[in-house]
């Protein structure tokens, strides 16, 4: 499916089938969660990253059904490039009203970057200046988990992590997504 068609689908669903909420409610709720995790785990940022990823994973496992129902998806993507376009132009569009750029493909087409020009989670946010958060905390790490969970439900095992974040002073916010394998129907071993 062409990228432009994906954009059109995303736009159409966003306009007609999505209940909107105040963006600040989302931003502030997410901020509260991250801040509370930092408190609960006593500023152990790698652990906070892990917890966010886990929360996102559990969201993704459920959210995929909403994505499929709303987008009326009847057939699976024919390749990983199409998957990437659908993630950005339909998935991110309908749930967050953003369309991150899909870029930096590897030659084998198994790994790409999502570059976030805007990130509704990060409005108003400044990372704590304890000298570590800037290097250790991936503030929007929940998104990696969401992608991992959602794609796992449609038979794709992926690995996702942020490699830069404007909150850390980088120029861009960039997430790297790598396809590990397609989980094809695995038949249980036969008892011979």
Partner 1 sequence: MKVASKGHSLFRIDNTRRVWFSNSQDKIDILETNSKAETRFMVSPSWPDTLNLTLVSPDSRTVFSLIIINKAGGLIYNKTFHEGGLNKISTNDYLVLAGTFHGVHAITARLNPVKPVAPPPTPGTNEPPNRPEPSSGLEVLETENFRMQCFNTLTGTKFLLFTETTQTNVDVTIKRIYDLYADYVMKNPFYSLEMPIRCDIFDRKLLSYIREINNR
Q: Which two tokens stand for residue 83?
A: 């998957």
Distance of CA 54 to the CA centre of its chain: 12
Q: Measured in Å, how far apart are the chain's first and last C-alpha atoms?
A: 43
* Beta carbons within 10 angstroms of residue 25's beta carbon: 9
Q: Which is nearer to partner 1, 59 or 98 (CB)?
A: 59
Interacting positions 106-125 with partner 1 (CB under 8 A): 107-109
> Which x/- pattern, by CB under 8 A, does the window 74-93 give for partner 1?
-xxxxxxx------------
Q: Using the rule CB under 8 A, is 94 a contact of partner 1?
A: no
Among 129, 171, 185, 191, binds partner 1 (CB under 8 A): 185
Interacting positions 44-73 with partner 1 (CB under 8 A): 61-66, 68-70, 72-73
Q: Using the rule CB under 8 A, is 181 a contact of partner 1?
A: no
Q: Which is nearer to partner 1, 74 or 131 (CB)?
A: 74
Are residues 103 and 74 in contact, defined by beta-carbon separation less than 8 angstroms?
no
Question: Which residues partner with 79 through β-bridges?
Answer: none
Minimum distance, C-beta of residue 125 to partner 1, in the bound complex (Å):
25
How far, CA to CA in Å, does 91 sit from each of 94, 124, 130, 183?
6, 24, 35, 21
Among 13, 55, 115, 154, binds partner 1 (CB under 8 A): 154
Minimum distance, C-beta of residue 169 to partner 1, in the bound complex (Å):
33
**CB neighbour list of residue 121: distance below 8 Å, 6 or more residues apart:** 26, 27, 30, 31, 139, 140, 142, 143
**Residue numbers at the binding site for partner 1 (CB under 8 A):** 61-66, 68-70, 72-73, 75-81, 105, 107-109, 153-154, 182, 185
């Amino acid at each position: 499916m062409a990228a432009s068609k994906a954009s059109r689908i995303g736009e159409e669903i966003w306009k007609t089938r999505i209940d909107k909420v105040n963006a600040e409610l989302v931003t502030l709720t997410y901020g509260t969660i991250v801040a509370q995790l930092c408190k609960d785990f006593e500023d152990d940022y790698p652990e906070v990253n892990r917890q966010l990823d886990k929360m996102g994973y559990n969201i993704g496992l459920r959210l995929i059904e909403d994505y499929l129902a709303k987008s009326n998806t009847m057939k699976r993507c024919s390749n990983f490039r199409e998957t990437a376009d659908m993630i950005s132009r339909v998935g991110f569009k309908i749930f967050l009203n953003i369309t991150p750029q899909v870029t930096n493909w590897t030659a084998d087409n198994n790994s790409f970057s999502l570059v976030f020009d805007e990130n509704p989670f990060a409005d108003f946010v400044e990372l704590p200046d304890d000298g570590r958060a800037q290097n250790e905390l991936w503030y929007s790490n929940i998104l990696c988990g969401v992608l991992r969970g959602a794609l796992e439900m449609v038979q794709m095992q992926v690995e996702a992590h942020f490699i830069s974040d404007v909150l850390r002073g980088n120029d861009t916010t960039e997430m790297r997504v790598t396809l590990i394998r397609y989980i094809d129907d695995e038949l249980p071993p036969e008892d011979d």
